Amino acid sequence: MGNTLNDDARQRVLVTAKSVANCDAAIAMMRDAKLDVVIKNTPMPIDEAWLKEQVHDIDALVFAMEPMGEKVLQAANRLKLIARPGVGYDNVDIDFATRRGILVSTAAGTNDQSVADFTFALMLEAMRGVSRASNGVNQGGWDRVTGTELWKKTIAVIGMGRIGKGVARRARGFDMDVLAVGREPDHDFERAYGVRYCSLQEALSKADIVSLHLPLNPSTEDLINSVTLGQMKPGAYLINTARGGLIDEQALVEAVGSGQLSGAAIDVLREQGAGSKSCLIGVDGITVTPHMATFTHESIERVAMSVAESVIAGLRGNMPRHVVNPGAWTSQPFVSAP
């Protein structure tokens, strides 16, 4: 499809995602495509009025976790594409974006290996107390932490997309029994890697470690709550590298405090960013990291280049890869129906 966009002015791309802004190759790719790339840092706490001001006269937006609700999108008078440097898009009003003809793309397939790696880092941290012991040495002590082996334990992988499958493959390297929970069981993968699909309730009751790899939507919000925490095997560990909204945070604090769980390691919170008021922060037995599972040099470059390719494709009037709302395509006033 040829480009039917306005050619009399340079199209503007706003980049607030630091992972993309810091990738010189991705920024250069967009600028070589004759795009006007504007890089800004979103002030914290996030101010909706600031967002509305920034998206005005922008053709494509590359943002991190800023909420793109109806009011912000209404202010985006010429926005054609939102390119997410990740796989989640729960902070975008997809229905409104689709009605407005705003395509939303993700960087699927670029960061799954980094997240799967980090999931195991969190498991080992929760079960072996590495940071606690290291901090003690840094403070002049020599107190050893008696941990729990990961080897031959049973893990429940909740959500069997690319990341979940990456975790399952790594778990087999630890001789772990893998229980898989997914909407559409992949029996070829099940046979190839010796995992077993089962119900959520069975997985919770039998697993020594429960690892979450689900998108956030109305059916998964607060999936881990006082009821499901009570269904978990006493003394188990909970790992979350997916979305903060999957967990009732106060219920998790209570489950760890009561000893129902031995601990948890969490990379995502309901309230993200410096100064977060999350009740999970500072709780004995709960490790919290700053949403860094995707942050490897390799992953950041793959994500940033994928985003740049999507932006260029979309602003040239072509369908980007990994669009989550293809229905927006025929609503766009600047392209003809395919």
Q: How far is the C-alpha of 91 from the C-alpha of 87, rounded, in Å?
A: 12
Residue 246: beta bridge partners?
none
Give the pLDDT confidence score for residue 308 in this predicted structure.
97
Show the tokens assigned to 73. 């999108």
35 and 87 in a common domain: yes
Q: How many of the other CB atoms lie within 10 Å of CB of 305?
A: 17
For residue 59, tell me if it sits in a domain: yes
247 and 141 in a common domain: yes
257 and 191 in a common domain: yes
* Pair 189, 165: CB distance under 8 Å: yes
pTM of the predicted model as reported, rounded to 2 decimal places = 0.83
* Pair 261, 208: CB distance under 8 Å: no
For residue 337, tell me if it sits in a domain: no
Q: How far is the C-alpha of 166 from the C-alpha of 118, rounded, in Å?
A: 11
For residue 119, tell me if it sits in a domain: yes
308 and 275 in a common domain: no
Helical (H) or strand (E) element with 251: helix 249-258
Show the tokens assigned to 329. 């395509």
For residue 19, tell me if it sits in a domain: yes
Give the pLDDT confidence score for residue 254 in this predicted structure.
98
DSSP single-letter state for residue 7? -
142 and 188 in a common domain: yes
Task: Give me the tens of pLDDT residue by residue for the chain, a chain 338 residues long.
Answer: 333 344 447 899 999 999 899 999 999 999 999 999 999 998 888 889 999 999 999 999 999 888 999 999 999 999 999 999 988 888 899 999 999 999 999 998 888 999 999 999 999 999 999 999 999 999 999 999 999 999 999 999 999 999 999 999 999 999 999 999 999 999 999 999 999 999 999 999 999 999 999 999 999 999 999 999 999 999 999 999 999 999 999 999 999 999 999 999 999 999 988 889 999 999 999 999 999 999 999 999 999 999 999 999 999 999 998 999 999 887 655 443 33
279 and 162 in a common domain: yes
* Pair 170, 176: CB distance under 8 Å: no
Q: What is the DSSP string of 261-272?
A: EEEEEES--SS-
For residue 86, tell me if it sits in a domain: yes
Q: How far is the C-alpha of 170 from the C-alpha of 155, rounded, in Å?
A: 11
Residue in the structure block whose two tokens are 């037995």: 285
Rounded to a whole number of angstroms, the CA Rg of the chain reads 22
End-to-end CA distance of the chain: 8
Total number of domains constituting the chain: 2
Show the tokens assigned to 312. 């260029």
Residue in the structure block whose two tokens are 């010796």: 194
Nearest to 88 by CA among 108, 70, 102: 108
pLDDT tens-digit series, residues 75-124? 999 999 999 998 888 889 999 999 999 999 999 888 899 999 999 999 99
170 and 133 in a common domain: yes
248 and 282 in a common domain: yes
For residue 190, tell me if it sits in a domain: yes
Q: Which domain holds residue 84?
A: 12-110+296-331
189 and 80 in a common domain: no
Give the pLDDT confidence score for residue 334 in this predicted structure.
46
Sheet bearing 81-83, strands edge to edge: 36-39, 12-15, 60-62, 81-83, 103-105
Q: How far is the C-alpha of 338 from the C-alpha of 330, rounded, in Å?
A: 8
155 and 57 in a common domain: no
Question: Hey, what amino acid is at 287?
Answer: T
309 and 279 in a common domain: no
Q: 3-state DSSP: the chain helix, strand, coil percent, rounded to 5?
A: 40, 15, 45
Q: How far is the C-alpha of 92 from the C-alpha of 291, rounded, in Å?
A: 18
Q: For position 95, which CATH number holds?
A: 3.40.50.720
For residue 6, tell me if it sits in a domain: no
Q: How far is the C-alpha of 268 from the C-alpha of 289, rounded, in Å?
A: 7
Residue 238: beta bridge partners?
210, 264
For residue 161, tell me if it sits in a domain: yes
What's phi and psi for 137, nearest 5 deg?
-65, -40
180 and 143 in a common domain: yes
Give the pLDDT confidence score for residue 331 in this predicted structure.
61
